Chains A and B, each alone.
Chain A
Amino acid sequence: MSFAISMLVFLGIASIIGTILKQNEPYENYIIKFGQFWFVFFEKIGLYDVYQSIWFLTILLFLVISTTLCVTKNSPIIFKDFLLFKDSLEEKSLLSFTHHLVLKNRKKVSLSRVIDYLKQEKFKVREKSKDNGDILIVAKKGDFQRLGYIFTHVGVVVICLGGLLDGNLFFKAQELLGYKKIETLDIPASKVLEVSRLRITNPSFRANMTLAEGSSDNVAFVRKKDGYLVQDLPFKITLKDFRIEHYSTGMPKSFESDLIISDPELSQDIATTITVNHPFTYKGISIYQSDFQDGGTNLDVKLWNLLNSSGSQKINAKIFEKIKLDKDQLTYEFNDFRKFNILNLKEGVKEKPRNVGPSVTYKIRNNSGQAREYISYQLAMLIDDRPFFISGMRETPQEEFKYLKIPADKNGSIAEFISFKEALQNKILIEMVAKKMTNRSVKSDNNSSVKQSFEDSVNKIMTLFVEGGFSNIAQNIDNNIPTNEKEKAVQAYLKIIDIASIELYKNYFNLSDKEIDQSAIRFIQESLNAYSDMFLFGSPYYFELTNYEQKEASGLQLTKSPGQFWVYLGSLSLVLGIFSMIYLHERKLWLLIKAKGGAIIAVSSNRKNIDFELDYRKVSQAIKKIIQ
């Protein structure tokens, strides 16, 4: 018994490990977390899949065995006790009960009244006349409480066995014996070798399947450790349509997949719709709506040149496909498209998150194989009430995205920023602006050297900015200006950039002074910030999603769990058992009526608590009243 309890404690502790360390993550994550040495060690002791590890299953098995032994040992005793009325007790043993009462009755005892009373109190009663003329009444009730012990323990055993049936013991054994091997390469299912395939006859599994709209398949994947196994299915599933409905807040409301199940054994296909909480079961295999992803959305994209050149190019892309731009030796890998993005833009402000429209995630890989990850949102978002086009970039998946915010113009497009950017990159325009500024700022006509040097510095500062943004300016100041004048220089430089840019903007778009209002000035400043951030963006292009044709894919989970029935049955037994152990009170009562006069009441219970005391008092007093 205490062995079982210590097993349970051990099981509890082992379970805690599994909740603290995230289970079944990709192995790279563990390597990053623990380093190579500990990674291997923890892998060996099965910490990444605690609940399926050999030692965990062994404990479970031990628990089952020891509980079974316990039950088989105690059940006969309990059953015997259940059926037995102990009518062999003598006066002496009744007197040794902790709860007994000796009565001295004068009148003749009415046995039937006592028995009626006991029956009314739900006792089962047996009467026995002894050789010496004494009469012994044996009564008991609540003896199902004892059976509760059996129900509880059998329940636990059945649950564990059911669980083991659905666990992967069978596969574990096959793997240990070398019959099966986990596939770790990313290859099409049809090319996976027999050794990594699970047959249709596999009694229990939990597998996943991703179907794009319009496609079908008859295999699913079982994720295992750092790889997978292919599970063959006895039927083919086709995804006709996948739908997501949203609440007005943008939160998802329902996921639905219209499926067609084609079984060669059937003359007609089965059409069904599954949703979360409403799976479909066929041939013992339940099909669940588990998640969704992109199914190869078609994208129309415009890539705007950002650095040192102008214009744009159009590409037609598709999610999960790659496009190589030969000119730059860059490869675009399109990973995901999302039609809805629910974001909370005002950080720290209590505002409801809302839908900001479609986004595309992609990677740009250079010639040497290094890649950066990007996310681009199609629509302008309001940040502090100003509209921006947002693109994020990160070097590794562990980082947060860093965002490039390009201001949207009055028409809600990127056009004005692109024009302004091209104006900035136009040397002739910059020189013209520098000249204009000089003429306006330096009034005296005769001092041409001052004029020239002013014009030169405007040109120089603007060129620095155009070629490398604010960081280039900062670097230049750091290198060339003495420390005590740095601050002054920064302010002067920024002022010149501001004024020159406004001038440039005015000239380029042919605007009057009046038209340069507060909002125009803000637009220019936002454009300058965006321009400067371009140099940190790591991509020579701005990615504009002009159109898309969405295609979704539904993530299905397929399970076959023959143990489920046993787990439920065991649970029922467990509940019944616990209930009877706690709420049924076993009481045994003996009443010895002596031929010579006098009587003894003795009451016992396998549990002596307050309730028992109360019951004892009540019953013994009632009988006393009847007898005396």
Chain B
Amino acid sequence: MFTKLFKASKTSFVILNVLYLSLLLGGALYALKTFSSYMDIYEKAILLSSVGFFSWLGWNWNHFKKIIILVFALSLFAIQLYSGVLTNNEQVFLLKYLLSSQSAIMWMNVFFVLALVLYWLGLLAKNKLLDDIASSFTSIAILFGFTGLLVRWYESYLIGLDIGHIPISNLYEVFILFCLITSLLYLFYEEKFNTKKLGAFVLIVINAAVGFILWYTFDRHADGVQPLVPALQSYWMKIHVPANFIGYGAFSIAAMVSIAYLLSAKKILASYLPKLAVLDDLIYKSIAIGFIFFTVATILGAIWAAEAWGGYWSWDPKETWALIVWLNYAAWLHYRIVKGLRGTVLAWWALIGLIITTFAFLGVNMFLSGLHSYGEL
């Protein structure tokens, strides 16, 4: 089993850490040495701080470390298979069906769908084995998703040296990012709270995103790599966008757990789910982490805006809605932390919060126009 594979003894723990750190450092140093002339000082700083960030994450969370090592291995293997020729994605069997970015992302979709089904089966049958398989499938989906994004990053440079860029610039790409970040955060809580019962709920929102990716791929054919418009050509994108999506992901988890909470409070599925107090705590923790990242992302966005648009705040619809989302969760946290509010009201509120967040993320692009119209539907 995948999870069994992940169970490690103490010596292998040390080996793993050494391997992980040397991969991160080695990769970063190689990139610095080889591509130094293509990067400005900020990009170098981001590269080095990402080594720190990933080390910290890996140090505190073993499972993450293993996923990242495998992502590294698979991506390097895929790059090896490409050997600098873009058309190899049709020629080489393993690329065509497994590791080219679009195939890998399809596999991610498949495993997310399977994981959702298995989480539900596991929940309803109270079957631990099914839960474990579902959880492993989620890990595999993450593995494929991250590999897909990294390979896509490489592919974008094969399309054209001036076209290459980090794949978080349009709706297709950020939806993948959303799936990955949300599921990673969920897996973290799954381990920390020692319950796999909530996957059935969290995977719903991830599968909604998967649905969107499929629609975007097959109906809109919008899964291709597009060159960056001048406003997006900035190192800020590498920090602003992921930070925002950690926020979105955490808010989504909070809303999904709120559904579980509300059902459980109404004695529906209550015997299948963790205790209300645990759910309540989990909702709070996800909103808290989401809020911090969302705050940071919005501030970084303001700093970027000051550089690109000439003002840190222009009351652009996207900015304004980010403020509304922020105010909403600020009030939520205020009522919980300061006023000590608990229970169904906050659960409902977290659910409504997701609607507001979704509007800020998608609705603004669909219905309102402004400076921020990069991902149009």
Contact = CB atoms under 8 A, between A and B. Distances in A.
B311 A23 contact: no
B327 A286 contact: no
B268 interface: no
Contacts of A19: 317, 320-321, 364, 368, 370
B312 A561 contact: yes
Given A20-B368, A286-B310, A561-B312, A11 B327 contact: yes
Interface in A245-297: 247-249, 251-255, 275-279, 286, 288, 290
Interface stretch (B14-22, B95-103, B200-208, B225-233): B225-233
A248 B160 contact: yes
B302 A253 contact: no
B320 A350 contact: no
A276 B292 contact: no
Interface string A532-570: 000000000000000000000000011101001001100
Interface stretch (A169-177, A358-366, A509-517, A576-584): A576-584
Nearest to B163: A247
Nearest to A4: B334
Contacts of A206: 310-311
A288 B310 contact: yes
A574 B231 CA distance: 27
Contacts of B362: none
B160 A582 contact: no
B144 interface: no
A557 B328 CA distance: 33
Contact of B324 (A12, A279, A290, A575): A12
Contacts of A248: 160
B328 to A, nearest CB: 8
A457 B317 CA distance: 64
Interface in B273-289: 277-278, 281, 284, 288
From A8, A12, A23, residue with most partner B Cβ within 10 Å: A12
Contacts of A561: 306, 311-312
A278 B231 CA distance: 10
Contacts of B296: 575
Contacts of A277: 230-231, 233-234, 307-308
B311 A581 contact: no
A607 B337 contact: yes
A583 to B, nearest CB: 8
A234 interface: no
A626 B368 CA distance: 64
B292 A575 contact: yes
Nearest to B284: A609
B310 A610 contact: no
Interface in B216-260: 221, 226-227, 229-231, 233-234
Given A578-B292, A582-B288, A571 B302 contact: yes
Given A253-B162, A350-B221, A610-B281, A163 B295 contact: no
Q: How large is the interface on A (under 10, 10 to 19, 20 to 34, 35 or more residues)?
A: 35 or more
Nearest to A278: B307
Contacts of B317: 19
Contacts, number: 117
Contacts of B328: 12
A275 B310 contact: no
Contacts of A558: 310
A5 interface: yes
Contacts of B327: 8-9, 11-12
B337 to A, nearest CB: 7
Contacts of A39: none
Interface in A422-440: none
From A166, A206, A288, residue with most partner B Cβ within 10 Å: A288
B2 interface: no
Interface string B302-343: 110011111111010100110110011011011001101000
Interface in B330-370: 330-331, 333-334, 337-338, 340, 364, 368-370
B45 interface: no
Given A5-B334, A574-B295, A578-B291, A16 B302 contact: no
B292 A582 contact: yes
A163 B313 contact: yes
Nearest to A49: B315
Interface string A223-259: 0000000000000000000000001110111110000
Contact of B320 (A15, A564, A583): A15
A130 interface: no
Interface string A15-38: 110111011000000000000000
A105 B323 CA distance: 57
A51 interface: yes
Nearest to B237: A277
A383 B63 CA distance: 56
B331 A251 contact: no
Given A350-B221, A578-B291, A276 B321 contact: no
Nearest to A206: B311
B276 to A, nearest CB: 11
B324 to A, nearest CB: 5
Contacts of A350: 221
Contact of B299 (A286, A557, A571, A582): A571
Given A574-B295, A578-B295, 18 more contacts: A5-B331, A19-B320, A19-B370, A22-B369, A23-B315, A51-B315, A276-B231, A277-B230, A277-B233, A277-B307, A288-B308, A557-B309, A561-B306, A564-B312, A568-B299, A571-B299, A575-B295, A582-B288
Interface of B: 160, 162-163, 221, 226-227, 229-231, 233-234, 277-278, 281, 284, 288, 291-292, 295-296, 299, 302-303, 306-313, 315, 317, 320-321, 323-324, 327-328, 330-331, 333-334, 337-338, 340, 364, 368-370
Sorted nearest first, the 8 A-B pairs with minimum C-beta distance are A276-B230, A19-B317, A288-B310, A557-B310, A571-B299, A51-B315, A247-B227, A582-B288
Interface of A: 1, 5, 8-9, 11-12, 15-16, 18-20, 22-23, 50-51, 163, 166, 206, 247-249, 251-255, 275-279, 286, 288, 290, 350, 557-559, 561, 564, 567-568, 571, 574-575, 578-579, 581-583, 607, 609-611
30 contacts: A9-B331, A11-B327, A12-B328, A15-B320, A18-B320, A19-B317, A19-B320, A163-B313, A247-B162, A247-B163, A247-B227, A251-B227, A251-B229, A254-B230, A276-B308, A277-B230, A277-B307, A278-B307, A279-B307, A288-B308, A288-B309, A290-B309, A564-B306, A564-B312, A568-B299, A575-B295, A575-B296, A583-B288, A610-B277, A610-B278
